[in-house]
Amino acid sequence: MSDIAVSIEHVSKSYRLGVIGNGTLREDVQSWWARMRGKTDPNSTLGRHEAIEGQTLWALRDVSLDIRQGEVWGIIGRNGAGKSTLLKILSRVTAPTSGQIKVRGRVASLLEVGTGFHPELTGRENIFLNGAILGMTKVEVRRKLDEIIAFSEIEKFIDTPVKRYSSGMYVRLAFAVAAHLDPEILVVDEVLAVGDAAFQKKCLGKMSAVAHEGRTVLFVSHNMGAVKGLTQKAVWLDHGEICRIGEKNEVLQAYLESAAADSSHEVQTTNLPRKPGMGSATRVQRIQCNAGREVSHGEPLVIRLDVESDLPVHEITCGIGICNMDGSRLLSWDSDVSGIVFDVRPGRCVIELRVPTLNLQPSSYMLDVALRSGEHYFDYIAGAMRMLVLPGPQTPPSIVRGDGQVRSRGEWKMTDERIG
């Protein structure tokens, strides 16, 4: 009983959707005055009273969870499942509608790095400010100042106003402050998806160091790899309710399987955000994997791109990249690697990539697509589609829990070497 660090008891949170009140004082006073005289509210729309009932959104519904000291929990679920709401309540940014959370120990929450950074202040001044916002005292910050500056790797610019920093430097400094909080309980939202790959690795390293120091950590992420690598236990939220709770591997697998059931591997890309100039004359319109059906490890994968062009273009190379959920590229297929370029005529055409055996570890990935001619890009869409790879019929169950991102087949052989 006494080693419970966070006890979440029947926590619910509701939001009222749509308009709250009438938005201006005049109309609220009008409504109030009308109600006082027993007249109908001049600002109410017909049937609004019933509508309000229907407009209550339960972001969390009766969530209970006991977290013991030193445990590292991952919170997973789809967008809108209530993960962020739970973190916000834990961080005291907003209050629950009912239920309560009891906490033993100091809580620090990182819903964002660099909260309260002021562009005009220097790096050093911002360390103090940000540290104080996160709950450190001046003495604590001063004690750790050298460590923070060293971790951020920007010693040279520490007395420069942060508005002159590159975004990478900014994030480094911000994470460095956050990484040196000394809480007993750490609540983290997906702040790891920042900075370059090397710095991300450093952040993950710091996170797992924190986890191994016996601190209690709650971690929300879409990055299944990070959840898998860092946590021991996981809770899966769906529509504000706990769907599954327990050891991370069981929960993760159940989550991935369910996500597969309703993910369609087809996406219209015409209106997806691109960099300026991309996708103007020649563009990818639609991406489809395995005709919209499931994608499995060890099975064939067919990616179909519907391309439209206003002009004739010669010798187009088509590129498809597979990225981690944190955006780092794992694998690229470029048609010119296979010695193939396409001549595109005005109008529509379909380009298809067929991979006989997909060797990706069962997990979620993002797809990048590109149309280029040499170094000149006609279209490039990063993170155009989310692809979920399921365990295939020949996938041994044990690998689903393993590490690594590529699971390749090979020819194996054993030779007995008997002496004599």
Contact 60, 82 (CB under 8 A): yes
Q: Which is nearer to other proteins, 184 or 306 (CB)?
A: 184
Q: Which is nearer to other proteins, 24 or 40 (CB)?
A: 24
DSSP letter (8 states) at residue 289: E
In 3D, which of 369, 302, 378, 290 has the Cα closest to residue 329?
A: 369
Contact 237, 77 (CB under 8 A): yes
Angstrom distance (rounded) from CA 277 to CA 303: 25
Q: Which is nearer to other proteins, 30 or 258 (CB)?
A: 30
Q: Which is nearer to other proteins, 27 or 336 (CB)?
A: 27
Helix, strand, or coil here: 134?
coil
Among 92, 314, 329, 345, binds other proteins (CB under 8 A): 92
DSSP letters spanning 270-288: TTS---TTTTSSEEEEEEE
* Binders of other proteins in range 102-141 (CB under 8 A): 102-107, 109, 111-112, 115-116, 118, 120-121, 125, 128-129, 132-135, 137-138
Residue 234: strand pairing partners: 74, 246
Contact 115, 124 (CB under 8 A): no
* Binders of other proteins in range 215-274 (CB under 8 A): none
Q: Which is nearer to other proteins, 84 or 309 (CB)?
A: 84
* Binders of other proteins in range 155-214 (CB under 8 A): 161
Q: Which is nearer to other proteins, 12 or 288 (CB)?
A: 12
C-alpha torsion sign, points 311, 317, 320, 323: negative
Among 1, 46, 198, 291, binds other proteins (CB under 8 A): 1
* Binders of other proteins in range 2-31 (CB under 8 A): 2, 15, 20-21, 23-26, 28
Verify binding: residue 98, other proteins, rule CB under 8 A: yes
* Binding flags for other proteins, 26-55, as an x/- string (CB under 8 A): x-x---------------------------
Residue 304: strand pairing partners: 288, 352
Q: Which is nearer to other proteins, 9 or 266 (CB)?
A: 9
DSSP letter (8 states) at residue 121: S
Minimum Å distance from CB 273 to other proteins?
22
Rg (CA), the chain: 26
Minimum Å distance from CB 86 to other proteins?
11
Question: What are the tokens at 64?
Answer: 């209970």
Angstrom distance (rounded) from CA 220 to CA 28: 39
Which residues would be at the binding site for other proteins (CB under 8 A)? 1-2, 15, 20-21, 23-26, 28, 88-107, 109, 111-112, 115-116, 118, 120-121, 125, 128-129, 132-135, 137-138, 161
